[in-house]
């Protein structure tokens, strides 16, 4: 789950201020990249909170730095791994043409990684095994409706969790087996299986 952005400070003409910071439209640009952190290596086993900060520099029209805040609850190694993934996600993000009143901004998000079994109450509905049979090919787009959808390697509640995809993420449906849907869930085209209610089916 990704919080609304918190504008901590801004800078204009070399002067730093905490009040009167205009809310630049960074969220629309940033949210898909933050949601992609659920697919970072090792993220599927994490449970806790990442305080994720961004320094926006409009002189270079880029994200100057990505940092962790004090409220992060992960071990240092896990924080560094997530930050490295975030820096890669935002390395090519451009702020060109984004309206702004100040030269620089510091913005923080609270990114919550729930325990897999607590991702959504409806997950309990996935307890029944899907009927045996061939995979039915399917095409289309869907949106993750659970807070966090568990993506498994096989169409089974016992399948290994290969990724967790956050609410609001758009995915491509490529197949169906019983109550399970095969999806492509990131820009790399990675595939896995989710229970039907995870994507509003």
Map out the domains of the chain as residue ranges: 6-113, 135-199
Which pair of structure tokens corresponds to residue 65? 């730095």
Q: What's the Rg (C-alpha) of the chain?
A: 19
Average pLDDT over all residues of the chain: 84
Position 108 scores a pLDDT of 93
Could you tell me the pLDDT band of residue 87, with boundaries at 50, 70 and 90?
Answer: very high
Position 128 scores a pLDDT of 41
- pLDDT value at 121 more than 50: no
- pLDDT value at 132 more than 70: no
Q: Give CA–CA dist 145/157, Å, rounded.
A: 18
When comparing pLDDT for 121 and 168, which is higher? 168
Which pair of structure tokens corresponds to residue 111? 């990114």
* Mean pLDDT, range 52-66, rounded to an integer: 93
Position 82 scores a pLDDT of 92
CA torsion 181-177-174-157 (nearest 10°) is 40
Instruction: Name the architecture of domain 135-199.
Output: Roll (2.30)
Do residues 30 and 62 make contact, with C-beta atoms less than 8 angstroms apart?
A: no
Tally of CB atoms within 10 A around 123: 19
- pLDDT value at 19 more than 80: no
Domain 6-113 in this protein, CATH class: alpha beta
Question: Each residue of 140-199: pLDDT tens digit?
Answer: 888 888 888 888 998 888 888 888 888 888 899 999 988 889 999 888 888 999 998 889
CA torsion 79-81-86-87 (nearest 10°) is 110
Model confidence, pTM: 0.59
Going 189 to 190 to 196 to 200, the CA torsion angle's sign is negative
């Amino acid at each position: 789950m990704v919080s609304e952005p918190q504008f901590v400070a801004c800078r204009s003409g070399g002067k730093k201020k905490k009040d009167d910071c205009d809310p630049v439209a960074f969220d629309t640009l940033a949210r898909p990249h933050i949601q992609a952190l659920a697919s970072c290596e090792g993220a599927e086993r994490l449970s806790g909170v990442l305080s994720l900060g961004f320094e926006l520099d409009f002189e270079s029209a880029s994200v100057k730095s990505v940092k962790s805040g004090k409220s992060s609850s992960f071990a240092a190694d896990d924080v560094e791994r997530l930050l490295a993934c975030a820096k890669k996600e935002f390395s090519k993000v451009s702020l060109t043409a984004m309206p702004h009143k100040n030269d620089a901004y510091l913005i923080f998000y609270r990114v919550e990684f729930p325990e897999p079994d607590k991702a959504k109450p409806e997950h309990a509905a996935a307890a029944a095994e899907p009927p045996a049979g061939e995979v039915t090919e399917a095409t289309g787009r869907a949106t993750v409706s659970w807070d966090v959808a568990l993506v498994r390697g096989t169409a089974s509640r016992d399948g290994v969790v290969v990724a967790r995809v956050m609410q609001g993420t758009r995915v491509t449906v490529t197949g169906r087996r019983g109550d399970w849907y095969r999806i492509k869930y990131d820009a790399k085209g990675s595939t896995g299986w989710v229970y039907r209610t995870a994507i509003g089916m």
